[in-house]
């Protein structure tokens, strides 16, 4: 039976949207950078890649018009290499990797690239195209289809009793883990530093300048975060479809808006063995999941989002 394994991976540092190093960097450039680096790290001829599959949740502007195909060319891969962009919102990148693995396991490909990207700075807020974005019939019949993720988070916290205190504690732990990993250099292997030109807006004078920078570590995390500081922050959401006043989600326990990209080279396992490559991980289909786990999953499918089902990763480290 054919199996897909990951033989290399690379990602940009996570740039803070709007005020970070990648706030004026094209999405094609972000993705092209990591695709090129992942292929280089695998030590393969770029022409051997048969498809590049990337996920993006906001496919417009610098992440529109089949950005995976554009990123393939930005990465320096031959024009003979295909590209496909997937939109499954928050799970777009994972779905892209799953699709690349499927192409190897079931479609006869030998090498594919999977990953994801977002350029929030260039495609959200005032840059976002909202013209006729909501269908009138759907807005009337299923308005929850257009519900924001932050309102969804409020609903999930209420429904499953995930307390504000628990979220703040986890947020603090996340900050501490990130700071520790950065200090110890444990993230350096996966990061591909990227030079860029950052836009700097002076709020006092209204002047705009551009600064050349090279980002080599994630932006935005705050090692000085304390539990008391998190507890002092007020919830940020209000006036939603069903939630009129948020109780749980704050600027301290929610994910920041970010710019960045990540890519992995997937290869058929026997080919990786022939090349002498040590897999970082293997993609396992549902047939490889223990039967008791599958039974539990089957019982829960009625209330489980489609994007959260189906496959699992098996770490090989």
Q: Provide DSSP, 148-161.
A: -HHHHHHHHHHHTT
DSSP-derived secondary structure for the chain = ---EEEEEEEE---EETTTSTTTT--HHHHHHHHHHHHHHHHT--GGG--EEEEE-SS-SGGG-SSHHHHHHHHTT--TTSEEEEE--GGGHHHHHHHHHHHHHHTS--SEEEEEEEEEHHHHSGGGS--TT-S-HHHHHH-GGGG--HHHHHHHHHHHTT--HHHHHHHHHHHHHHHHHHHHTTTTTTTB--EEEEEEEE-TTT--EEEEEEEE-S--S--TT--HHHHHTSPP--BS-SS-SB-SS--TTTSPPPEEEEEEEEEEEHHHHHHTT---SEEEE-GGGS-HHHHHHHHHHGGGS-GGG-S-EEEE--
Residue 70 · residue 54 · CB < 8 Å: no
In the chain, the domains with their CATH numbers are 4-158+190-195+256-315 (3.40.47.10)
| Per-residue model confidence as pLDDT tens digits over 117-166 | 999 999 998 889 999 999 999 999 999 999 999 999 999 999 999 999 99
Per-residue confidence (pLDDT) for residue 66, from 0 to 100: 98
| Per-residue model confidence as pLDDT tens digits over 82-108 | 999 999 999 999 999 999 999 999 999
Per-residue confidence (pLDDT) for residue 284, from 0 to 100: 80
Residues of the chain with pLDDT under 50: 288-317
- Residue of 170, 300, 219 lying closest to 21 (CA atoms): 219
Per-residue confidence (pLDDT) for residue 286, from 0 to 100: 56
Angle between helices 67-74 and 27-42 in degrees, nearest 10: 60
Per-residue confidence (pLDDT) for residue 285, from 0 to 100: 65
Per-residue confidence (pLDDT) for residue 1, from 0 to 100: 86
């Amino acid at each position: 039976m054919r199996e897909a394994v990951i033989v290399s991976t690379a990602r940009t540092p996570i740039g803070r949207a709007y005020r970070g190093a990648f706030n004026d960097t094209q999405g094609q450039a972000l993705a092209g950078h990591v695709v090129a680096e992942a292929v280089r790290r695998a030590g393969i001829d770029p022409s051997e890649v048969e498809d590049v599959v990337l996920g993006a949740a906001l496919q417009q502007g610098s992440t529109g018009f089949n950005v995976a195909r554009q990123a393939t060319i930005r990465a320096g891969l031959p024009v003979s290499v295909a590209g496909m962009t997937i939109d499954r919102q928050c799970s777009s990148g994972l779905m892209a990797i799953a699709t690349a693995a499927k192409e190897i396991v079931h479609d006869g490909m030998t090498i594919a690239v999977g990953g994801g990207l977002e350029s929030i700075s260039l495609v959200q807020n005032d840059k976002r195209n909202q013209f006729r974005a909501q269908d009138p019939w759907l807005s009337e019949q299923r308005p929850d289809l257009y519900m924001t993720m932050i309102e969804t988070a409020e609903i999930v916290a209420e429904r499953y009793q995930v307390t504000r205190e628990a979220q703040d504690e986890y947020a603090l732990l996340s900050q501490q883990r990130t700071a520790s990993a950065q200090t110890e250099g444990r993230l350096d292997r996966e990061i591909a530093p990227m030079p860029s030109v950052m836009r700097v807006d002076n709020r006092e004078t209204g002047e705009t300048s551009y600064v050349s920078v090279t980002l080599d570590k994630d932006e935005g995390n705050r090692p000085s975060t304390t539990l008391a500081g998190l507890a002092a922050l007020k919830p940020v959401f209000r006036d939603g479809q069903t939630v009129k006043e948020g109780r749980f989600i704050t600027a301290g326990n929610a994910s920041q808006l970010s710019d960045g990209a990540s890519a992995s080279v997937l290869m058929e396992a026997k080919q990786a063995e022939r090349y002498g490559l040590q897999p970082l991980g293997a993609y396992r289909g549902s047939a490889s999941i223990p039967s008791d786990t599958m039974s539990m999953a089957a019982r829960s499918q009625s209330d489980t989002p489609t994007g959260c089902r189906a496959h699992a990763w098996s770490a090989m480290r």
